[in-house]
Each structure stands twice: as C-alpha cells, then as structure tokens.
Amino acid sequence: GRCETSRREDSMSMSSRVPVLAIDGPSGTGKGTVGSHIAKTRGWHLLDSGALYRAFAFAANEQGIAPDDIEGINALDRETEFAFETTVSGEVEIRVNGREVSMRVRGEQGGRLASMYAAVPAVRSRLIKHQRSRRQDPGLVADGRDMGTVVFPDATLKIFLTASPEIRAQRRYNQLKSKDFDVTLRGLEAQIAERDQQDASRAVAPLVAASDAVVIDTSRRGIGEIVEEVDGLLSIRLRDYD
Ligand code: C5P
C-alpha cells in the first residue's frame, strides 16, 4: 500500500531532524483534538495513526482477510492505497483505494476491528513505514498508542494523555453523537474498556507511556488549557533542537 502523502526519504538522518510531537494515550483523552490544534497553528503535518489502523482493518475485514493470514495481509498492503486528508475543520478524511470510508470506520465497531488487527505484528510492521514517511518539514504531530515508544522513539516531545474512564466515555459519546452515530453511553463505556484492555495487553507495541513521556491527566481541564501546556513544552524543546 502507498500513502498519498508519503515521499521517499533521502536518508534516515535527514528525516530524523524533522521535529515530531508524539501524543499517545487511550481513546477519549483528547489526543486528536490537541494534536490537530497544534498541527494547524504551527502548520505541521498531522498523522492520525488510529485512522490508518482503522482503514487497514476495514479493508482486511471487507476482503475476508483474517488477522493471522500473513500472506493476505502483505498482499493487501501492496494492493491498497490509503489516503488521509485533513479538512479545514480539522477532521481527517479516510480513503481506501479512493473510496471515502470515514463514516464506516469511525464508530466503535471500526475501533474494535482496528484493535483486533493492530495486535498482529505483521500488520504493525507494514504500517510503520507509512507512519514514518509522514515525517516531513516543517514538522509532524503524530497521535496514537505507540508514537513515542515505537514509531518515533526520538520524538522532540512525547506526551501521554490520560483521563478517567467516565470522562473518556462521555467525550467519545459526544464526539460520535455529533457525527450521527447511534451509540449509548453505557455501551461505549464497556467497548472502550474492552479496547483499552486489548491494546494494553498485546505483546507488540502495547499501549503504555514512554519512559520519557510527559503524562497529563485531561479529566478536569479544558482542551484549550492542554493545548497551551503542550505547545509551551514543545516550544521549549524546539529551542534546544538545532
Ligand atoms: O486512535 P483510535 O481510537 O482511532 O485507534 C483505533 C485502534 O487502533 C486502537 O484501539 C488501537 O488498537 C489501534 N492503534 C494502534 N496503534 C496506534 C494507533 C491506533 O494499535 N498507534
């Protein structure tokens, strides 16, 4: 598979000079919102790695490729083009071979599928190169589960966001409701807990804060405040960068 936005990197040393803000954490902690704000104001690229896992899992599932079918997974990756476009409102539009699939993959069903395929080492290793190819000037904001631990271990700044399960479920509920998804708060609480459990307990790239990540609890704070804190930390790191 190719990424529309990907470009050949001249060398690892060149691309690693491009600054990266890695934002990890479970669903509903505000990663996406904080990340897209900062990417927008700084004019940096944005990588919503969850969208990549969702799109890949959707395509695999639709074509009947089981998570343990390594040959099928590799063939799918070769034959499929995944494209992501950030709209003016900061939403990421997801296309699989040109087909817009955002609504189909954004719900909890899509999250569950993503989490299932994301536990497979072959899937993760195929998707790593797509993610690293997004590291382009003037900088990259990357959000996901393993941005700071696996994909960009040399990130300029690593943030790990947390929040209480109730607040995360409520945020996901508001988010999905606003996109006309048919969800209940109770149902989401259970689905999010199950997905976290699966993501945190897998053998490869489990959901865990990097040892050098700054951990921020977003439960009782407004998004604007978090954005300001993270952006301030980033400015300090960038000063020492060159
Ligand atoms: O972030 P989002 O909720 O869209 O991610 C969907 C799923 O994709 C996660 O629950 C996780 O299983 C997987 N994922 C991952 N690594 C990432 C991003 C997402 O395993 N970097």
Q: Is the CB of 102 under 6 A from ligand 1?
A: no
> Does residue 73 contact residue 65 with C-beta atoms inside 8 Å?
yes
- pTM exceeds 0.85: yes
Q: Which two tokens stand for residue 68?
A: 């343990």
Query: Cis bond leading into 138, ω under 30°?
Result: yes
Checking DSSP bridges between strand 99-100 and strand 92-96, what pairing results, if any?
A: antiparallel
Side-by-side strand order, sheet with 20-24: 45-48, 140-144, 20-24, 157-162, 214-217
pLDDT, tens digit (0-9, with 9 covering 90-100), for 58-69: 999 999 999 999
Asked if residues 187 and 202 have their Cβ atoms less than 8 Å apart, the reply is no
Q: Ligand 1 centroid to 229 CA: how many Å?
A: 24
Q: CA-to-CA distance for 146 and 208, rounded, in angstroms?
A: 8
State the chain's mean pLDDT as an integer. Answer: 91
| Residue 145: count of CB within 10 angstroms of its CB | 27
Q: Is the pLDDT of residue 132 over 90?
A: yes
Q: What is residue 151's DSSP assignment? A: I
- Write down the pLDDT at residue 2: 56
Question: With pLDDT > 90 as the criterion, what percentage of the chain qualifies?
Answer: 84
Nearest C-alpha to atom 1 of ligand 1 is from which residue? 50
What pLDDT, on a 0 to 100 scale, did the predictor assign at position 14?
54
Would you call 152 helix, strand, or coil by DSSP? Answer: coil
Pocket test for ligand 1, best of 112, 115, 196 (most atoms within 8 A of CB): 115
- Find the 239 Cα to ligand 1 centroid distance in Å: 31
Tokens at 67, concatenated: 């998570």
What's the N-to-C CA distance of the chain in angstroms?
A: 34
**Are 127 and 210 spatial neighbours (Cβ–Cβ below 8 Å)?**
no
- CA 133 to chain CA centroid, nearest Å: 14
